[in-house]
Amino acid sequence: MYEGAVQDLIDELGRLPGIGPKSAQRIAFHLLQADEVDVKRLVDSLLEVKAKVRFCQTCGNIAQGEQCRICVDPRRDATVICVVEEPKDVVAIERTREFRGRYHVLGGAISPMEGVGPDDLSIAALFARLSDRSVTEVIIATDPNLEGEATATYLVRAMGDIDVRITRLASGLPVGGDLEYADEITLGRAFEGRRLLNA
């Protein structure tokens, strides 16, 4: 449609999640009209995040060192692990100020349609964390959609032989929704009303 560098920029922007062709075009033309200083600041931010940010070796959350700020915080309750799909879910739960334990980020959810199975997630790392028997409760906080429910069901079955209390966030979260879009009150009530999955 456009020539050379402009079309390349539109194509690259269009590869970002949630950015369609029209949005990619609008962003590209915004960048073309922006001051060079502003564009350089954006480029520097992108390069810096790629150079400095990694995934926590313990929980899989984003970190600027080997471990994230939550895993190194001695005030967090290490006996309770909240299992989430993505780092953005950690941020959503932290906003509630209801949870004082630690997290485990799976890196997605089981989705046969997209070719994502249990081996593609950090489930083995979760079981490694549970192996020393210091964890007393695992809260499953996967999204309340088909993939999230499939992942929760798989985890409950796989943890069947482990002596740990397994709970799931209570309803109050909309079915088919994502944790990152839930407000603090809804997420807070979901934590208060979580239910036991293994009796």
Q: HSE (CB half, 13 Å, CA atoms) of 163?
A: 3
What is the separation, in whole angstroms, between the first and last Cα of the chain?
Answer: 60
What confidence tier does 105 reach under pLDDT thresholds 50, 70, 90?
Answer: very high
Instruction: Give yes or no for residue 161 having a pLDDT over 80.
Output: yes
Decide if 71 contacts 58 (C-beta within 8 A): yes
pLDDT tens digits, 46-90: 999 999 999 999 999 999 999 999 999 999 999 999 999 999 999
- Please, which residues have CB within 8 angstroms of residue 149's CB and are 6 or more apart in sequence? 142
Q: Would you tell me how many other CB atoms lie within 10 Å of the CB of residue 5?
A: 10
Prediction pTM value: 0.77
Q: Which of 119, 111, 126 is nearest to 159 (CA)?
A: 126
